[in-house]
Chain A
Amino acid sequence: MLSNTARRLVRGWTLLVLLFLYAPLLLVVINAFNSSRTFAFPPTGWTLRWWSDAWNSHGMWQSLANSAMVGLGATAVALVLGTMAAVAVQRYDFFGKHVVSLLVVLPITLPGIVTGIALNATFTSALGVSLGLATVIIGHATFCIVIVFNNTQARLRRMGSDLEDASADLGASPWQTFRYVTFPMMRGSLVAGAVLAFALSFDEIVVTTFTAGPAVQTLPIWIFGNLFRPNQAPVINVVAAALTIVAIIPVWLAQRFGGDPAVSRF
């Protein structure tokens, strides 16, 4: 179907949307080498000086380490709990099962600020816990679990339960069946879920703001805190460009190992 004019129109539209998607990212990378401090466009000169400034920024490394720790912690919690939830929902019948599969979607559909305030109220007013890295990890785990759960559940549904039934018939205990049959088959979706969960946690700022307290800074919090300080702008530009370039890594991983984790979220 479709006339040639219509084809040309949608192709032109596609190119425009791609330009819309990539022009800002390109600008970020260009500005990291812009020698002017005010970043007037077009740049009048080029420099690598900001890159060495950023490399020597103590706050950047400190917050980067915190972000890595939170990301790894939240991903680990999410892998264990998300997988357990997915197996439970897919393979067993229990009271309230349908409610569970609806409820776990809530953390990604509710605005971060609602989740953030809810957790903040719980930690400070209700439980009296002091905010720190641990509370950030718990906060991030709420939405990381959903990612792992969704990935794993979709895979379990496609796998069917024939092989697991066969394993049980042949005398394997439930743990053996999980260890030798179920787990190897869903390893791919676990990796995809983990990569996506880590990426979301690494980038998260709203829930972090409300669960971190004043002492702990993750990388996004650090960037946000320095965003409006003119003398920090060059360093922020470099970190922004570096993050943009690093963003290619998960895409490359996905291409290499098959199945785009970002797409598998839908």
Chain B
Amino acid sequence: MAWLVIAYLGSLAVLLVSAFWSTDAFTGAVVHSFTFDNIVRVATDELFRTAAVRTVSVALAVTVICAVLAVPLAFYMAKVASPRVRLALVVAVTTPLWASYLVKAYAWRMLLSPEGPLVWATDYTPGYGLTATIVTLTYLWLPYMVLPVFAAFARVPDSLLDASADLGASDWSTLRMVLAPLVFPGIAAGSIFTFSLSLGDYIAVTIVGGKTQLLGNIIYGQLVTANNQPLAAALSIIPLLAIVAYLLAMRRTGALESI
């Protein structure tokens, strides 16, 4: 227990503290002196601000597309399919989770390449860029959305839907007034995964994003290429805050209990 707290919270504390350190301009070594420079730079620099907005937008777009793809699928799995088909579908949705992350991103690189299958089949490819990044991230995190939404649908008793229909509600009214409120916490739980996983990603965008810069790439660049660990730490406070804000917003929906 103590190990957990020390290793993890300790590291996060070091991260926060190191955001206030600076690097020696001459040697590049980290200097343990207190400064607000990094924070100020992160908050004011145009480049960082654009990247932060772009990153959060990508994460939100991925989350919305995942939800749109997942809800009818989860509904079919839980309420329409026979038990046999349902089991097969659960296996079918979870199996890609076991396939390697890199392989899946790489698969999209092949799929979208100028001589790839998509061009062969449709004569069109979005190329490597922001669209490709969103599609790939959606592909990567979709199962994380499907499973909690499926679980939420499965928990709704069929008798409730029958009762609603017996009382004269149309399919649409049942969906909107009975199913939607009951399933929403499942969507919220799934969205925590899709949002936070997209927010920190920099590998997929390196593979299919072309020149697109997301926060993850910039943080990585500051740490590895520019060797400016304090600035990287200050930058990583942005996704940290975004996640905490998102978690707090989602806590009110009861989503945290369904993770």
Chain A residues within 8 Å of B, Cβ to Cβ: 1-3, 6-7, 9-11, 13-14, 17-18, 20-25, 27-28, 31, 38-42, 81, 84-85, 88, 100, 103-107, 109-115, 117-122, 124-126, 138, 141-142, 145, 199, 203, 205-206, 209-210, 220, 223-224, 227, 236, 240, 243-244, 247-248, 250-251, 255, 260, 262-263, 265-266
Contact = CB atoms under 8 A, between A and B. Distances in A.
B4 A251 contact: no
B171 A3 contact: yes
Contacts of A117: 15, 219, 223, 229, 232-233, 236
Given A7-B80, A23-B111, 8 more contacts: A6-B171, A13-B72, A14-B77, A41-B119, A111-B196, A113-B200, A122-B11, A266-B258
Interface residues of B, number: 90
A38 B114 CA distance: 11
Interface in B168-214: 171, 174, 189, 192-193, 196-197, 199-203, 207
A223 B143 CA distance: 24
A10 B229 contact: no
29 contacts: A1-B171, A9-B72, A20-B139, A21-B143, A24-B104, A25-B99, A25-B103, A27-B117, A31-B110, A81-B4, A100-B1, A104-B4, A107-B8, A109-B243, A110-B196, A111-B239, A113-B201, A114-B240, A118-B14, A119-B7, A125-B14, A126-B14, A206-B202, A223-B102, A223-B106, A227-B106, A243-B103, A248-B98, A255-B91
Given A13-B72, A27-B110, A85-B4, A121 B94 contact: no
A236 B105 CA distance: 13
A110 B200 contact: yes
A85 B201 CA distance: 29
Contacts of A25: 96, 99, 103-104, 107
B15 A118 contact: yes
Given A41-B115, A113-B220, A114-B239, A263 B90 contact: yes
Nearest to A262: B94
Given A1-B162, A41-B115, A205 B171 contact: no
Interface string B6-36: 0111111011001001000000001000000
A48 B120 CA distance: 24
A263 B93 CA distance: 10
B200 to A, nearest CB: 2
Interface centre among B3, B9, B14 (most CB of A within 10 A): B14
A11 B199 contact: no
B19 to A, nearest CB: 9
Nearest to A39: B110
Nearest to B108: A24
